Structure 1
Amino acid sequence: MACRISELVLECADPERLAAFWSDVLGYVELGREDDGSIEIGPPGVGFGGPQPTLVLSANSAPSTGKYRLHIDVNATDRDQDAELERLLALGARPADVGQTGDESWHVLADPEGNEFCLLRRRLQPL
């Protein structure tokens, strides 16, 4: 028997803002809220425990220091990489420089709070 990732927790200053951003990026919906201000989002009609992990946006006002050791990679499901890049930038993502050469097949972006993520080239089938 093995484990699988059921949820990812992202500490952030503004859970509302990031829940809205990541819901738009991933096509997720709000699943619940906790008294501490955390918001959980996940696939519509499936929620926690489905084939895709949910995302918990957890309130933390402490400033982020240093580079995160984990980041999220996303792939478009219904358009090519260039069209998805335009969509993500319109949602509030911005290009991030982590020392790329310009020859990469992916784009490094940052969400509205500066959390880095990558848009990969390969299109995936939706679940």
Structure 2
Amino acid sequence: MALGWKLVVDAGDPHRQAAFWAEALGYQIEDNSTLIERLLAAGTVEQSLCVEFQGRLFWRDAAAVRHPDDPFDPVSGTGLGRRLLFNRVPEPKAGKNRLHVDVHADRGQRDATVARLRAHGATLVRHVKEPGGEWSVLTDPEGNEFCVS
């Protein structure tokens, strides 16, 4: 039996990371604001656990993005399929990733995809051309490596 999963990424600014990766992948930032507003109104959570970002309420220490075609929980806004979750951590990234995302551009669109991602905060690290393939290595706004092929 296959198991469901999500990729969780440590982040200094989870909302900025979610915005970058939503743009990078064509995903949607999960909207938990209805649930958060309901919990605030009921006195179940404190305002200090929330933050306003892009005109709506989010959890202060977490933000996620989900594939636009996948199902989501209408009560919480949480994606039930392909998703990335960014959790705030106090320490900065140190060292090379042990896991990274490969972004697959449409045929002939790698350079345009790299340019688009750079315009949204990515940094080009290097371009690799080997007999087995060609790709670009970039970092997201917090220095996490990823590839565009």
Scaled to the shorter chain, the TM-score interval is 0.7 to 0.9
Q: Name 1:18's counterpart in structure 2.
A: 17
Distance 1:39 1:14 in 2: 9
> What RMSD, in angstroms, separates the aligned Cα atoms of the two structures?
2.2
1:113 has 2:142 as partner: yes
Amino-acid identity (%)? 39
- What is the count of residue pairs matched by the alignment? 114
Q: Structure 2 residue aligned with 1:37, among 61, 68, 93?
A: 61
Letter in 1 for 2:24: V
Does the 8 Å contact 2:10/2:88 carry over to 1? yes
- Tell me the SS of whatever aligns to 2:15: helix
Gaps in structure 2 of 5+ consecutive residues:
33-57, 73-78
> Normalized per residue, which structure has more strand?
2
Larger Rg: 2
Question: Post-superposition shift, 1:26?
Answer: 1.0
Question: Post-superposition shift, 1:35?
Answer: 4.3
Q: Structure 1 residue aligned with 2:116, among 84, 87, 100?
A: 87
Change in 2 beyond 3 A, CA 1:49/1:72: same
Gaps in structure 1 of 5+ consecutive residues:
121-127
Question: Post-superposition shift, 1:65?
Answer: 2.2
Q: Return the TM-score normalized by structure 2.
A: 0.67
Q: Name 2:52's counterpart in structure 1.
A: none
Does the 8 Å contact 2:93/2:142 carry over to 1? no
1:103 has 2:129 as partner: yes
Distance 1:84 1:76 in 2: 6
Residue by residue over 1:69-99, the C-alpha shift from the partner in whole angstroms, topping out at 9 and shown as x without a partner, is: 10110012486111111111111111125xx
Distance 1:40 1:78 in 2: 28
> Normalized per residue, which structure has more helix?
2
- Tell me the SS of whatever aligns to 1:17: helix
